[in-house]
Amino acid sequence: MVNIAILGCGTVGSGVFEIINTNQEIVNFKAGKELKIKYVLDLRDFPGSPIQDVLVRDINTIVEDPEVEVVVEAMGGVEPAYTYVKSALLAGKSVCTSNKELVAKHGAELLRIAAEHNRNFLFEASVGGGIPIIRPLNQHLTADKICEITGILNGTTNYILTKMYKEGLDFNTVLKEAQDLGYAEKDPTADIEGFDACRKIAILASLANGKSVDFEDVYTEGITKITDIDFKYADKMGRSIKLLGKCKLEDDGIVVSVSPRLLAPEHPLFHVSGVVNGVLVRGNVVGDLVFIGSGAGKLPTASAIVSDVVDAVRHLNVTTTIQWEEEKLEVLDFSKSKKQFFVRVLGQDKNKVESAFGNVTYVDAGIQNELGFITESMSENSYEEKAAKLDGIITRIRVEA
Ligand code: HSE
């Protein structure tokens, strides 16, 4: 028998509790051992639930119990999760987590500590919810140079953008609806400003390159400036707008970013709609692989955590290598990366547009007193220089190649 402790019994933690109990037979079979949840750490009470029988308040009860071999961290946030996870690893327990803030900030260090103790630090659920993406990157795509990872990595923003695309609604109306339905948090900042996707693409970029991509080096732009008018233009272009996390190997280095992009129907992620997540991985020999599925939610996320628990139980005293060193990976300055831009500008003066931007392609969405156009491919820096010469720019959205 293997004893497990769950730290935090909110949505994800209670999902882990549920799966280990309801799918007991299959999970035990896959693990090759019987799993028992010995403790759940939470400050709340769970009257009438079996959780109450194993509830503890003090992390030391878990850390100091030698019978606990695997700890599930489902608290979220960096602290106290970091302190708890580190002490569990130092005490010789494997840890499985869904916590992208923790993994993005301390992943490499926690992996090292786990390896020093012949234990495992696993985080399949931290990116893409129920989609297997960490294990494929780490264990399966080992023959390839990863040239690109492009992901729809946040369910909340994909839900909002999909609704705007399909129903022509404005951002605030859809956000309110998403909050009422429980898809978006009361404080949606981390999702709509792209911070959540930023941590997730930093984790994927670190795994793809074996060194630490600091999430603070990731250019991050959310979806709060996207309007229903932008979608009218997108529609005329036959495109949609998606928030994409991108890690791309360019001529001079790796560029990592999060930003809204205009996506063509041929793109493998174009049809990834609603709360669903999708990740495109481009390897230099395997070509394109696409992973699509539930990127958030109680059971999909808990499913990924339990798959890590099974992995940890299969490897109780041996570390399954995850190549991610603490050494920092210097990423290329985003301002040097090139792409086309869609621009909206007040007025109807094409001469002014062309004297600032040169050759452009106009898009007529029937909007009064403004022009919409697509530039030629240029660096972010070059775009900024040209944009400074043109008064009245309303917005600009990057065009995904
Ligand atoms: N808030 C996140 C999302 C949850 O909307 O995708 C999963 O990380």
Residue 129 confidence class, pLDDT cut points 50, 70, 90:
very high
Digit-coded pLDDT (tens) for 69-116: 999 999 999 999 999 999 999 999 999 999 999 999 999 999 999 999
Give the distance, in angstroms, between the CA of residue 242 and the centroid of all CA atoms in the same chain: 13
Tokens matching residue 214: 């600091």
The residue whose CB lies within 8 Å of the most ligand 1 atoms, and thus the one to mutate among 189, 191, 244, is: 191
Q: Which ligand 1 atom is nearest residue 154's CA?
A: 6
Q: What are phi and psi for residue 94, nearest 5 degrees?
A: -80, 150
Asked whether the CA dihedral 41, 47, 48, 53 is positive or negative, the reply is positive
Q: Which ligand 1 atom is nearest residue 277's CA?
A: 6
Digit-coded pLDDT (tens) for 157-197: 999 999 999 999 999 999 999 999 888 899 999 999 999 99
Tokens matching residue 15: 């999902």
The residue whose CB lies within 8 Å of the most ligand 1 atoms, and thus the one to mutate among 11, 187, 192, 196, is: 196
Digit-coded pLDDT (tens) for 383-400: 999 999 999 999 999 999
Nearest by Cα to 88 from 73, 100, 78? 73
CA–centroid distance, 358 to ligand 1, in Å, is: 40
Q: Which ligand 1 atom is nearest residue 200's CA?
A: 8
* Mean local confidence (pLDDT), 310-314: 98
CA–centroid distance, 95 to ligand 1, in Å, is: 21
